[in-house]
């Protein structure tokens, strides 16, 4: 074996996005013990930083030592008990994974289907809530990475609460890239990841639980079906106020990376980060439309950080993406499910959301699609 030397790519796909050099160098700092008081002080800063970007005062806000999918599992495993009725609004791939979580936990999944590429319909959710008076959880994805559509979290949460349901929201692609207010929108449990709009490495998820979710967790009749993700246990490490106890060996250097990414996003200001994502989306959109490349999602529901566009007629999806990768070191993503071969997903997330990346992407496409 020899040392691995990856090429330098520009990551404009569905994630991971480009990792900022400051975050890469933060991760190269010397590893210290995960119970070292200096490390614990850094953990406290991470929790405060996460609360700021999630826009919440939730005490139970912390990273989970595993990728976004573990954040998803942490929410479902801790909140869903056997026979719980969970309404899941599905408008893409990641909603389907929520269903998988619920059924594996012995819960009953009630599916509200929406078209891929469209926002979740509040009318359909209301209909499902009326027809299932004993449902106790509503789950949905804020920013569907498989299509680039965003949904109205505030209205969906309000509706769920009118019918005494708590909410689980996937914010893996939305956090940092688009408006998100956990407390103001009364989101009960939320998870996100580091590898999209936070400009950081993949492999860590971020969760936040509010009062209603903690009450559901505290009044469980059965124990949580996972040792690693049982928040009652993890909290002794992340939330133990003065005395922290060993739960698992924290990914020390990854947490340096997360810490630096929070420092950077707070320097920029979370609201300014939303504005940057929006402005760069406009720039990309104007360039693509000038080339007669059209968007899948209607203007109102479009995510600025994930641009799904229809592949122009007569061009081969895989061939174009492989030219971009091999000749331009530029990664964009393919469509999924019914959109395989029909759309490209162009990400403008975190550190990837930069003018120079847009110029590269537009000029490369212009040359190839000539
Ligand atoms: N949810 C959404 C909306 C995602 O886009 C992703 C990953 O792309 C995930 C969940 C899963 O995250 P991970 O791949 O880090 O496990």
Q: Is the pLDDT of residue 239 over 90?
A: no
Question: How far does the centroid of ligand 1 lie from the alpha carbon of residue 69, in Å?
Answer: 6
Ligand 1: which atom is nearest the Cα of residue 144? 3
Average pLDDT, the chain: 97
Q: Please answer whether residues 195 and 175 qualify as being in contact, where contact means their C-beta atoms are separated by less than 8 angstroms.
A: no
Q: What is the 3-state secondary structure (H, E, C) of the chain?
A: CCCCCCCCCEECCCCCCCCCHHHHHHHCCCCCCCCCHHHHHHHHHHHHHHHHHHCCCCCEEEEECCCHHHHHHHHHHHHCCCCCEEEEEECCHHHHHHHHHHHHCCCEEEEEECCCCCCCCHHHHHHHHHHCCCCCEEEEECEECCCCEECCHHHHHHHHHHCCCEEEEECCCCCCCCCCCCCCCCCCEEEEECCCCCCCCCCCEEEEECHHHHHHHHCCCCCCCCCCCCHHHHHHHHCCCCCCCCCCCCCHHHHHHHHHHHHHHHHHCHHHHHHHHHHHHHHHHHHHHHCCCCECCCHHHECCCEEEEECCCCCCHHHHHHHHHHHHCEECEECCHHHCCCEEEEECCHHHCCHHHHHHHHHHHHHHCC
pLDDT tens digits, residue range 29-42?
999 999 999 999 99
- Phi first, then psi: what are they for 164, rounded to 5°? 60, 30
- If one residue of 69, 92, 175, 352 were mutated to test the ligand 1 pocket, choosing by the most ligand atoms within 8 A of its CB, it would be 69
- Residues in CB range of 274: below 8 A, 6 or more apart: 177, 178, 179
- Residues in CB range of 330: below 8 A, 6 or more apart: 9, 10, 12, 324, 360, 361, 364
- Residues in CB range of 38: below 8 A, 6 or more apart: 32
Q: Which fold has domain 25-266?
A: 3.40.640
Q: Kindly report the protein residue whose alpha carbon is nearest to atom 4 of ligand 1.
A: 172
What pLDDT score was predicted for residue 241?
A: 65
Kindly state the average pLDDT of the residues 163-185. 98
ipTM of model: 0.99
Q: Where are the domains of the chain?
A: 10-16+270-369, 25-266
What pLDDT score was predicted for residue 242?
A: 64
Q: Kindly report the protein residue whose alpha carbon is nearest to atom 2 of ligand 1.
A: 172
Q: Which fold has domain 10-16+270-369?
A: 3.90.1150
Kindly state the average pLDDT of the residues 243-268. 95
Confidence of residue 343 (pLDDT cuts 50, 70, 90): very high
Q: Is the pLDDT of residue 356 over 70?
A: yes
The rounded distance, in Å, linking the Cα atoms of 347 and 272 is 18
- If one residue of 13, 88, 173 were mutated to test the ligand 1 pocket, choosing by the most ligand atoms within 8 A of its CB, it would be 173
Ligand 1 residue neighbourhood (C-beta within 6 Å):
15, 67-69, 72, 94, 141, 145, 170, 172-173, 193, 195, 202
Q: Is 220 annotated as a binding residue?
A: no
Kindly state the average pLDDT of the residues 298-302. 98
Confidence of residue 244 (pLDDT cuts 50, 70, 90): confident
Ligand 1: which atom is nearest the Cα of residue 145? 5
Q: Kindly report the protein residue whose alpha carbon is nearest to atom 14 of ligand 1.
A: 68
Confidence of residue 153 (pLDDT cuts 50, 70, 90): very high
pLDDT tens digits, residue range 183-237?
999 999 999 999 999 999 999 999 999 999 999 999 999 999 999 999 999 988 8
The rounded distance, in Å, linking the Cα atoms of 323 and 350 is 24
The partner residues of 306 in beta bridges, in order of sequence, read 347
What pLDDT score was predicted for residue 237?
A: 84
What pLDDT score was predicted for residue 272?
A: 98
What pLDDT score was predicted for residue 19?
A: 98
Question: How far does the centroid of ligand 1 lie from the alpha carbon of residue 172, in Å?
Answer: 6
Confidence of residue 238 (pLDDT cuts 50, 70, 90): confident
Structure tokens at 345: 């997903």
Query: Can you tell me which residue has the tokens 């999918």?
Result: 69
What pLDDT score was predicted for residue 174?
A: 98
Question: How far does the centroid of ligand 1 lie from the alpha carbon of residue 25, in Å?
Answer: 25
């Amino acid at each position: 074996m020899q040392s691995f030397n990856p090429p330098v790519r520009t990551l404009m796909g569905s994630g991971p996005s480009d990792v900022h050099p400051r975050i890469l160098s933060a991760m190269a700092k010397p590893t210290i013990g995960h119970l070292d008081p200096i490390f614990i002080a850094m953990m406290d800063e991470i929790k405060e930083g996460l609360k700021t970007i999630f826009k919440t005062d939730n005490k139970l806000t912390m990273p989970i030592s595993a990728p976004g999918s573990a954040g998803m599992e942490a929410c479902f495993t801790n909140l869903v008990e056997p026979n719980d009725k969970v309404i899941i609004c599905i408008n893409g791939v990641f909603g389907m994974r929520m269903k998988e979580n619920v059924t594996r936990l012995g819960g009953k999944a009630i599916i509200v289907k929406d078209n891929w590429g469209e926002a979740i319909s509040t009318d359909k959710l209301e209909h499902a809530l009326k027809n299932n008076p004993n449902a106790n959880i509503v789950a949905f994805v804020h920013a569907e990475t498989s299509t680039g559509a965003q949904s109205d979290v505030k209205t969906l949460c309000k509706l769920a609460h009118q019918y005494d349901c708590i909410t689980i929201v996937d914010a893996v692609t939305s956090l940092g890239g688009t408006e998100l207010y956990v407390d103001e929108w009364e989101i009960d449990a939320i998870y996100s990841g580091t590898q999209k709009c936070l400009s950081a490495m993949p492999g860590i998820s971020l969760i936040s639980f509010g009062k209603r979710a903690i009450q559901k967790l505290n009044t469980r009749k059965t124990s949580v079906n996972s040792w690693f993700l049982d928040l009652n246990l993890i909290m002794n490490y992340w939330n133990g106020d003065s005395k922290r106890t060993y739960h698992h060996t924290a990914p020390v250097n990854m947490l340096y990376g997360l810490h630096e990414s929070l420092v950077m996003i707070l320097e920029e200001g979370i609201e300014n980060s939303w504005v940057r994502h929006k402005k760069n989306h406009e720039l990309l959109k104007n360039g693509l439309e000038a080339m007669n490349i059209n968007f899948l999602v209607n203007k109102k529901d479009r995510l600025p950080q994930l641009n799904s566009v229809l592949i122009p007629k007569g061009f081969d999806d895989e061939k174009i993406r492989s030219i971009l990768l091999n000749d331009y070191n530029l990664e964009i993503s393919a469509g999924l499910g019914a959109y395989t071969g029909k759309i490209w997903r162009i990400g403008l997330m975190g550190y990837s959301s930069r003018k120079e990346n847009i110029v590269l992407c537009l000029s490369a496409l212009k040359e190839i699609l000539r």
